[in-house]
Each structure stands twice: as C-alpha cells, then as structure tokens.
Amino acid sequence: MSYLKPNNMGIIACPGGEVFADEIISFLKFTYSRKFEKQVSSLSEIYDIEKTEVVRKINFFLDTEVFKKEKIRDSAGFSSPLLKLPVRFTHFANGEFKAEILKSVRGMDIFVIQDVENRYPLSFCGDHDKKLSVNDHVMCLFVVIDAALQAGARSVSIVIPTYPFARQHKKKGREALTASWFGRVLEFSGVARIITLDIHSKEIENTFRNLRLENLHASYQIIRKLTELIDLKSEDIVVVSPDTGAVDRNKFYAGNLQSPLAVLYKERDYSRVSRNARENNITNVRLLGSVKGKTVFMADDLLGTGGTLIKAIRFLRDQGANKIICAISLPLFSGDAVRYFDEAFKEGLFFRIIGTNAVYHGEELLKKEWYESVSISNLFARIIAHLHHNRSLSSLLDNRKIIQRLLKQ
C-alpha cells in the first residue's frame, strides 16, 4: 500500500472529539504532504527528472487507481487527502442519539475519534449547547460505530484518549468490572482496535480476545515541556510516585532523567467517595525517600477532582520540597478542581502542572499561569497513519530513544 495514498482512510469525529480530530487531521495532512515532497525529491534525483514532471507522473499513477469522472487531484502539486467524513448527529428530546454518515465508507478503514470527558456545550442537528455526560458520549460512540459497520466499512478503530470507566478495573466487593465490560462491548460490536492514552490499568487489555489495544504514552511531550521549565542538568531533581500504582510510570521518568525515585504511600478509606479536592478518601500519607531541598517531579495518569494530588503536594512541601512540578496525561479537572488548584498555587504549594490536550479545555484553564498544555495530537496522527499503512508501531510506542536524544541536546 502506497504511503502517499490514504484514499481508503476515513476519520469520523464524534461531537465531543471534534477539536481533537481536527488537530489530528491537520497533522496527518502535513505528514502526507511531507512524505510526498520527499518522494518527489528522491525520484527527481535518482532519475534526473524535473520535480514538476515527477509530480505529474506520481499524481497520474495515483489517479489511475482511484479514477472517477471528475479530476481527483491537482496534477501540478500535492492534493491534500480528504480524511474527515461528514456525519449528521441528532440528539432527540428523549436523550437518544442518531448518527448518519453522509458519504460512502464501503471498504474503508474508519477511525472514530471521541473525547468522553468533554463537558463543554456541543451542537447537534436541530439542537445546540448540549452538555453531555461520559455515558452520553459513550452511547454516541456506539451509534457511530454501528453506523460505520452497517455502511460496509472494512474496519473500525476507536481513538479515545480517555478510556472510560478505566478506574473500575478491579473488584473490591459486589461491583462491576466496567472497564473490561466497555472493551468487550466494543469488541462484540465489531471494533478492531482501541487507541488510547496512558490507560489506568494494563490488566484491562487482558479481557479482550481479538481486539487490539494500543496504549500510547505522553512522556516525550511532557519531558520536552519540562526542559523548558527547568534546567534538568543543574537542578537537583527527585522523581516522586504519587502512589504505589504509579511506580512504573515514575520509574520510567526517573531512569530517563537519571534522578532518584521516591514513593508516596497512601492509606484510603474506600467507604468514602472523593467528591472534591477537600473531601477525599485519603486517611494517611507516608514518604519513602527524601525530598528536602529538592525539585520534585511527579507524574500521574489521571486528575479528577484534584484532592489526592493537592494533598500529596502539601505533604511534600511539609517534607521540605523546594519546587514541585506535576505531569498529568489525562487532566479532567472535574468539579471545582481548577479553583482548588488556583488556591493551592497562590499558597505557593506547587510551581507548574503539565497536562495534555487529550481532554478538551477552554480558556479558563489554558490561560492559568500554573498550567502548561502539551499536544499529543501528532502522536495519535502518526499512529493512525502507521496502522492504516500496516507499518510497525514499535518506534512510537517505545519512546525511550527519542527522549534520550532530547536530553542530550
């Protein structure tokens, strides 16, 4: 399959994932344009032909494969692929969702993009300014999947940076394993692959039979932002795991930054539910290691109400930490979390919070002095392109080499 020809790729953006989808598509178009230019330069040099003539010959070859009555591409240059598929979404008065794909998708690889944590007002056919819950977003995703498969799509993959119900991955009593249930429903529906970011528990993948889960990591993007905030070569840094469940993640950062690793041990009362940053279920915190006079870097996968993280930050300051920087792959900022972090920043408890654009946020958060946003759209775009063209993902899933190159600069 030609890497210059994504004619059988289609991207469907659910209402919640519209912004993230547009960013991914922008990177995809840039990627294909760059590949086209490199191909033209290489062929021009090898066969000693003018670049304009090479462009015409390549476009002629591509057009013969997808020939229609109308002219498909500009013969004199690169024609950007039409990747985004038009879809009409309807939200009925009783809460039902309907998705109607307005273009043929028969034989195509479809990538459905959804942000289940988007709590901002969304527009639907004949209806505007609807705020959806996670459950609403999930149901909207299901109807799109079925619409694509009913229309004859060759494969359907789900791009869902925040895996819903991921914290419901183990039983502590008579409760559902909703994280695995969600994936099994997708698998039963005919979904071939889930592409997500820093899934809360790797055990979720073990519940699938044929469905593949690609778990991406934002560590390179986060470390690149960290190099802009502090001097990694001169500052005395300690990497702290916020709990025992995040040890592997922070061990990865400690190894790449060549810094010592400390661990916070938290005791919780699971009979209580964390409702906001002040009402959480943590009863006791202990530190394994030393942070006195150090710059602390602490990474976690998900930030909800923020109570757990703020309590950890306050504890580390009491232990003598000089400066605290936290990195969050999935910054939900549920409820009044932004306000609580504002208050904590004014107290001088922390220096910066680094978050990704995996969850959509408006200017209220993005303009905060203490918040730094990094984009992982390019990473998802490259994964989608590699999957569509049956190329290896290993260089994208294991980013240790590019991190080391970055740190040596």
Mean pLDDT computed over every residue of the chain: 88
Beta bridge partners of 395: none
Are residues 83 and 110 located together in one domain of the fold?
Answer: yes
322-347: average pLDDT: 95
Q: What is the pLDDT of residue 283?
A: 67
Number of domains observed in the structure of the chain: 2
Q: Is residue 408 part of a domain?
A: no
- Is residue 64 very low, low, confident or very high in pLDDT (cuts 50, 70, 90)? confident
Q: Residue 407 falls within a domain, yes or no?
A: no
342-379 per-position pLDDT tens digit: 999 999 999 999 999 999 999 999 999 999 999 999 99
> Which pLDDT score, from 0 to 100, does residue 388 have?
92
What is the CATH number for 26?
3.40.50.2020
Residues of the domain holding 367:
219-375
**Longest alpha-carbon distance in the chain:** 74
Q: Return the bridge partners of 330, or none.
A: 302
pLDDT tens digit sequence for 276-292: 555 555 667 789 999 99
- Within 13 Å of residue 356, how many CA atoms lie on the same side as its CB? 30
Q: What is the mean pLDDT of residues 234-258?
A: 91
pLDDT at residue 1, rounded to an integer: 41
Both 105 and 132 in one domain: the answer is yes
Residues 241 and 315 in one domain: yes
**Torsions phi, psi of 140, nearest 5?**
-60, -40
The answer to whether residues 147 and 50 belong to one domain is yes
**211 and 127 inside one domain:** yes
- Rounded CA-CA distance 374/376 in Å is 7
Asked if 297 and 270 count as a contact pair (C-beta separation under 8 A), the reply is: no
pLDDT for the residue 62: 73
The pTM for the full model equals 0.90
pLDDT at 2 over 70: no
